[in-house]
Each structure stands twice: as C-alpha cells, then as structure tokens.
C-alpha cells in the first residue's frame, strides 16, 4: 500500500503541510506513523480519516470537538452510541444550515431583482415609495 509524505497528503487534500502538522498537534491524527527518520507517513486510511475531518469542519464543528470524535474512534465499540449520536446531531446542524442558506439566497435574489430594476431605470429612485420619507439604499 503506497504512503504519502506530508506534502503529498496536503496536495491530495488541498491543504498545506502547516495545516496537517497543526491537526497532528491538536490530536486529530493519533494513528499517524513515522518513518525511521521521524517523517510522517500518511496511509490511504489516514487520508480517508482526514476527509471525514474536513467534512465535519464544513459543518462548522470546531477542532476540539472533532478531537473528541477522534478519541472516541480510538476507544472502539464502547463509543459507538456517542459517535452515532454525534452524526445525527451533525445532520440536524447541516439541515439547519441549509434552511438558513435558502433564506439568505431569497434575500440575495430579491436584491438582484432590485438592482436589475434600478439599473434598467438608471436610478435607484425607481424604488422609492411615496410614503417613505427616507430609505437606506442598503
């Protein structure tokens, strides 16, 4: 099975060696092996674990919480329930983020239309209501 240096692993994951060393320091790579010369040797399984770590990061999970999960993984079957619950919670978090993103998109799209109309008219005044004494263009 081929292995990867920290630079190769970084490239494969679109990260930097700095970041990978930082993850290691924070305890996110407990199983990482070293060569006789002390150089980190990333296996395919390490890259897979890092992909999960990046996935959890994308859900907004802080690194300390990810470390808790990594520790659970090292604990074996005793922590299956915690890990299951964690992913269920992450699922709920992502669902909420999706809903929020939809709301955000709705506002952005309204603004796109607003500025499309203003651009066609050549002036934002086209949106001024007669009853509004003052409006903020933002």
Residue 122 CA: distances (Å) to CA of 50, 90, 129: 51, 47, 17
- Distance between CA 79 and CA 16 in Å, rounded? 31
Closest to DNA by CB, 30 or 62: 62
- Residue 82 tokens read as 């915690």
**Residue 60 DSSP label:** T
Q: Which residues 6+ apart lie within 8 Å of 27 measured at CB?
A: 67, 70, 71
Give me the residue label for tokens 């074996």. Answer: 76
Q: Which residue from 12, 27, 43, 63 is in contact with DNA, where contact means CB under 7 A? A: 63
Asked whether position 35 contacts a copy of itself by CB under 8 A, the answer is no
Q: Which residue from 16, 26, 35, 116 is in contact with a copy of itself, where contact means CB under 8 A? A: 116
Torsion 60-85-55-16 (CA) sign: positive
Shortest Cβ distance from residue 51 to a copy of itself (Å)? 8
Closest to DNA by CB, 22 or 84: 22
Asked whether position 13 contacts a copy of itself by CB under 8 A, the answer is no
Closest to DNA by CB, 38 or 122: 38
- Distance between CA 138 and CA 135 in Å, rounded? 9
Binding site for a copy of itself (CB under 8 A): 1, 31, 43, 45-46, 48-49, 51-53, 55, 58-59, 69-70, 73-74, 76-77, 80-81, 83-84, 87-88, 90-91, 94-95, 97-98, 100-102, 104-105, 107-109, 111-112, 115-116, 118-119, 122-125, 133-138
């Amino acid at each position: 099975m081929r292995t990867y240096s920290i630079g190769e692993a970084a490239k494969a994951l679109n990260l930097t060696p700095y970041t990978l060393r930082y993850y290691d320091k924070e305890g996110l790579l407990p199983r990482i092996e070293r060569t006789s010369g002390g150089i980190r040797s990333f296996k395919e399984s390490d890259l897979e674990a890092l992909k999960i770590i990046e996935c959890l990061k994308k859900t907004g999970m802080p690194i300390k919480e990810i470390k808790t999960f990594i520790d659970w993984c090292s604990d074996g079957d005793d922590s299956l329930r915690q890990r299951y619950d964690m992913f269920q919670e992450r699922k709920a978090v992502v669902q909420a983020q999706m809903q929020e993103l939809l709301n955000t998109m709705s506002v952005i799209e309204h603004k796109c239309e607003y500025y499309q109309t203003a651009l066609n008219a050549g002036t934002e005044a086209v949106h001024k209501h007669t009853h509004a004494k003052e409006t903020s263009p933002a």
